[in-house]
Amino acid sequence: MKIEKMTAAHLDGVCKIENDCFVHPWSRESLESELQNDNSLFYVAAEDDKVIGYIGMNFVLDEGYIYNVAVSEDFRKRGVGSALIRTLVTYCKKNSFSFLTLEVRQGNAPARSLYESFGFIKVGERKNYYSEPTENAVLMTLYF
């Protein structure tokens, strides 16, 4: 598995994962736009030149806001999500970020456990943040 910065060449693979993993996936145009955004950073995990996962964030000064972490279903529980998060955490540490934060479905215990393993802590909730099904979001933050 190789982790690298996302480029336009990865868009088809990222879009497939978006559509497979999320009820309301990002459009290709939105993802393309983020590639041009100086305040966004996306990484992909690839195996044999196939995108198997990705992570993206937006940042303002020294604050990081994770957009999405997604791994193709066939590659889950193989360390892909951990590798992607580790890559982003390392970037944030090297660039003196104050924190990195995200929202996760309250009922997504595997994801919450993964984030906790990196030191993210629950800092709040957003009521009914998600739809289909309606569910609260747990706000989790890693302070550096």
Confidence (pLDDT) at 120: 98
Contact between 134 and 128 under an 8 Å Cβ cutoff? The reply is: yes
Confidence (pLDDT) at 119: 98
- Whether 100 has a pLDDT exceeding 90, the answer reads yes
Confidence (pLDDT) at 23: 87
Q: Which letter does DSSP use for residue 57 in this model?
A: E
Which residues are paired to 65 by β-bridges? 58, 101
Quick: pLDDT tens for 59-92: 999 999 999 999 999 999 999 999 999 999 999 9
Give the C-alpha separation, 28 to 142, whole Å: 29
Confidence (pLDDT) at 132: 85
Quick: pLDDT tens for 13-68: 999 999 999 888 999 999 999 999 999 999 999 999 899 999 999 999 999 999 99
84: its two tokens: 């992607």
Give the C-alpha separation, 55 to 118, whole Å: 15
Q: Which residues are catalytic?
A: 103, 115
- The model carries a pTM of 0.93
Quick: pLDDT tens for 110-141: 999 999 999 999 999 999 998 889 999 999 99
